[in-house]
Amino acid sequence: MKHVIASLAMGCALAASASACAAADMSDMNDMSTTGGAHEHSGAKNSMSHGEVRKVDAAAGKLTIRHGPLENLGMGPMTMVFKVKDPAMLSQVKAGDSIDFVAEELDGALTVTELHKQ
């Protein structure tokens, strides 16, 4: 009998704890709607990222860039290959150049849409 009562008490405590956590999570959602948190990410879409050109592949229309975090894409620092939106961007840079750039996912491919040589 003691085990049944202890189990019921534990179950009630867990249920109350889960309800409190769910309420806290929902309050964060409310904060987003009142502070504009959900809209802050739309401004990050065009935020510049910093990187270094590792390779220019003019024939394929691609740049290999070692970059810092791409906040608008939710990516950490790494080296990766990007398409370029405008092929003229390829003639602006060479391997070793420091750049600021905007990368977006266009038609399923990560694409540099804006590029500024440092």
Residues 6 or more apart in contact with residue 19 via CB below 8 angstroms: none
Given a cut of 80, whether residue 1 has pLDDT beyond it is no
State the DSSP code for 93. Answer: -
The answer to whether residue 41 is domain-embedded is no
- According to the model, what pLDDT value does residue 66 have? 98
26 with 52, same domain? no
54 with 19, same domain? no
pTM, entire model: 0.62
| Residue range 80-95: mean pLDDT, rounded | 96
- According to the model, what pLDDT value does residue 79 have? 98
CATH number of residue 113's parent domain: 2.40.50.320
pLDDT tens, residue by residue, 17-58: 544 444 444 444 444 444 444 333 444 456 899 999 999 999
**Contact (CB, 8 A) for 34 and 87:** no
The answer to whether residue 96 is domain-embedded is yes
Q: How far apart are CA 54 and CA 2, in angstroms?
A: 69
- According to the model, what pLDDT value does residue 47 have? 82
Q: How far apart are CA 61 and CA 97, in angstroms?
A: 17
Count how many domains the chain has.
Answer: 2
Q: Which domain holds residue 19?
A: 2-35
Radius of gyration of the chain (CA): 24
Instruction: Give the mean pLDDT of the chain.
Output: 77
Given a cut of 50, whether residue 72 has pLDDT beyond it is yes
**Contact (CB, 8 A) for 113 and 104:** yes
| Residue range 87-115: mean pLDDT, rounded | 96
- Residue at 2: amino acid letter: K
| Residue range 49-77: mean pLDDT, rounded | 96
